Structure formats: C-alpha cells, structure tokens
Amino acid sequence: METTEERSADALVKIRDLRFSRGSRVIFDGVSLDIPRGRVTAIMGPSGTGKTTLLRLIGGQLRPQSGTIEVDGQQVPRLRHRALYELRKRMGMLFQSGALLTDLSVFDNVAFPLREHSRLSEPMVRDLVLMKLQAVGLRGARDMMPSELSGGMARRVALARAIALDPMMIMYDEPFTGLDPISKGAAVQLIRLLNDALGLSSIIVSHDVQETAAISDYIYVISDGKVIGHGTPGALGRSNSEWVQQFMKGLPDGPVPFHYPAPEYLDDLLAGT
C-alpha cells in the first residue's frame, strides 16, 4: 500500500490549497490532491461540483484566486503565454462534446495538431494519423465528417487527436456521459489500454461510478468545494463516510438531500391561498 508521501513524490500534477470562485460562488475551497505518473486517477463528484473547472485550472485556461497547481514541475498559473502553450503540447484533453472541428474530416481533425506543431511531411502525417485512428478503431472512418459520427465515435476521434502529439498526460472530461453501453464499454477499455500502452498519466473527471471505478487506480471525491474522500476504488467502497457511501452507491437521499432547500412545504402551499 502506497503512502501519501510516496504518491506526492511521484506526482505529475500537484494541487495545493486551491481556492477558486466565480462571483460570490465558491467552487473550490482549499482543495489539495496529487495525480501520480503512469496511473489512471479519477476525480468524481455530483454534477455542478466544478470537476470540469478543475481540468481547466490544470490546463491553465482558468487561474485560481490562490493556491498552487504544479504540472511536471511547472507552476501553471504563473506560466506566460508561450510557456503555457509549450506545456499544453504535452497535455491532451478530451472534451465531453469531443470538440472536433466541424469543418474538417476525421482525418484532418487528427492531423490538425501534427500539422500545427510539426514540420512532418504529408506521408508521415498520414501514417501517424492512421496509426492513431487504428488505436481507437476508427481507421475506416477517416473520410467521414464530424456531423456523420455518433457521440461515441466523435469521442474516439477526439481521443485519437488528443494522443496525436504523444502527450505525457490526458484529461478526460466526462468520457462516459451519453454513450450507449457498447460505446461506453469501448471507452472504458480504451482509456485503460492507452494509459498502459503509451505510458500516459490519465485524469478522468466523471460521475459514472461503475465505469470509472473499474479502470481507476485512485479516486478523489469532491463536493462543496472540498475533497471529501480519496483512496483506491476498493477502499472508497468500504469508506465509513456516509457521503461517500451515498455517492458510490447512488442512493437518492442522504447527506445530499433529495429536496433542494425550500421553505416548509405546507407554508409554501398556504402562501398561495
């Protein structure tokens, strides 16, 4: 069993005492976590807890009010434009929508980062694109346009594009949401396989407990701007925290109440008479 110190020493991403708010709404209030190298780490929590915001903070698209975010030894919020873009070349991100460029074919979408950042010849680009598409099982769909793809296919193309530059890490934003069971199974398998085969470090942000727990090495559970539990999937399943149990088992009522805060039911009904 790994200790916290060992995890921290080997961390690719280190977040310490992160505070971030939008207007008066506090999204993160003192979050600290480590994303180790070579592992699949999940960040879970109910919708609206700022999981996607956390990925944007790691990617430098947002800046925190305080706290540190270190990626591969570099303080992301302090990086200047050029250095941040250099770091991003080594980070892949898979958006929930896929975020494919709609005026480019599948082939050109995957070739996009290669053409933008390298001076490879077209035959070389072609070979690399076909290899990436083969890895996600969509070599045969190279000539299709994004509008012709199903949700699952679009995300696989986006995954091929995310690994085009052979990044050190990939961030997955809700990779299983809205997928049919077959596509979901393919996505689960792909994330684990790619992580191990390419020696990546993966961060999955999700609220799909079963799929995420099946492939994650470590899970952080976030709610109300704080980390309320973390551990291996097995350890979290045995957690004493009522909150963690409610989330992991998908119980409708518990520390997170079924009813949104409201005045007394009877008072509310009588107020209209």
Partner 1 sequence: MLNVVQRLGRSGLGFLERFGRAFLFLLQTLSGLPNLLPRPGLVIAQVYSTGVLSLLIIVVSGLFVGMVLGLQGYNTLVKFNAEESLGVVVALSLVRELGPVISALLFAGRAGSALTAEIGLMKATEQLSGMEMMAVDPVKRIIAPRFLGGVISLPLLAAIFSMVGVFGGYFVGVSLLGVDSGAFWSQMQAKVGFHEDIVNGVIKSVVFAVVVTWIAVYEGYDAAPTSEGVSRATTRTVVYASLAVLALDFVLTALMFREG
Q: Report the sign of the C-alpha dihedral through residues 170, 217, 42, 228, in that order.
A: negative
In the bound state with partner 1, the residue whose beta carbon lies nearer, of 21 and 97, is 97
Of 37, 89, 192, 226, which lies in the binding site for partner 1, with binding defined by CB under 8 A?
89
In the bound state with partner 1, the residue whose beta carbon lies nearer, of 27 and 100, is 100
**Binding mask 181-220 vs partner 1 (x if CB under 8 A, - otherwise)?**
----------------------------------------
Q: How far is CA 66 from the centre of its chain?
A: 22
In the bound state with partner 1, the residue whose beta carbon lies nearer, of 121 and 240, is 121
Of 11, 15, 91, 228, which lies in the binding site for partner 1, with binding defined by CB under 8 A?
91
- Look at residues 88, 14, 68, 33 and name the one whose alpha carbon lies nearest to residue 222: 33
Whether the CB-CB separation of 155 and 173 falls below 8 Å is answered with: no
In the bound state with partner 1, the residue whose beta carbon lies nearer, of 99 and 131, is 99
**Candidates 53-61, 122-130, 177-185, 250-258 — which segment interacts with partner 1 by CB under 8 A?**
53-61
Which 3 state secondary structure label does DSSP give 149? coil
Spatial neighbors of 145 by CB under 8 A, at least 6 apart, are 102, 105, 106
In the bound state with partner 1, the residue whose beta carbon lies nearer, of 40 and 91, is 91
- Look at residues 74, 1, 59, 7 and name the one whose alpha carbon lies nearest to residue 37: 7
> Measured between alpha carbons, how far is 207 from 38 in angstroms, rounded to an integer?
22
**How many residues line the site for partner 1 (CB under 8 A)?**
24
Least CB distance to partner 1 at residue 95 (A):
5
Spatial neighbors of 32 by CB under 8 A, at least 6 apart, are 15, 16, 17, 18, 227
In the bound state with partner 1, the residue whose beta carbon lies nearer, of 165 and 209, is 165
Phi-psi region of 224 (alpha: psi -120 to 50; beta: other; left: phi over 0): left
Which residues in 69-88 contact partner 1 (CB under 8 A)? Answer: 85-86, 88
37: contact with partner 1 by CB under 8 A: no
Least CB distance to partner 1 at residue 158 (A):
8
Structure tokens at 197: 């085969």
Q: How far apart are the first and last CA of the chain?
A: 62
62: contact with partner 1 by CB under 8 A: no
The letter for the amino acid at 160 is A
Least CB distance to partner 1 at residue 58 (A):
10
Which residues in 93-152 contact partner 1 (CB under 8 A)? Answer: 93, 95-97, 99-102, 112-113, 116-117
106: part of which helix (H) or strand (E)?
helix 106-117
In the bound state with partner 1, the residue whose beta carbon lies nearer, of 21 and 52, is 52
- What is the pairing mode between strands 40-44 and 66-71? unpaired
In the bound state with partner 1, the residue whose beta carbon lies nearer, of 141 and 163, is 163
Contact residues: partner 1, CB under 8 A: 56, 59, 61, 85-86, 88-89, 91-93, 95-97, 99-102, 112-113, 116-117, 158, 161, 165
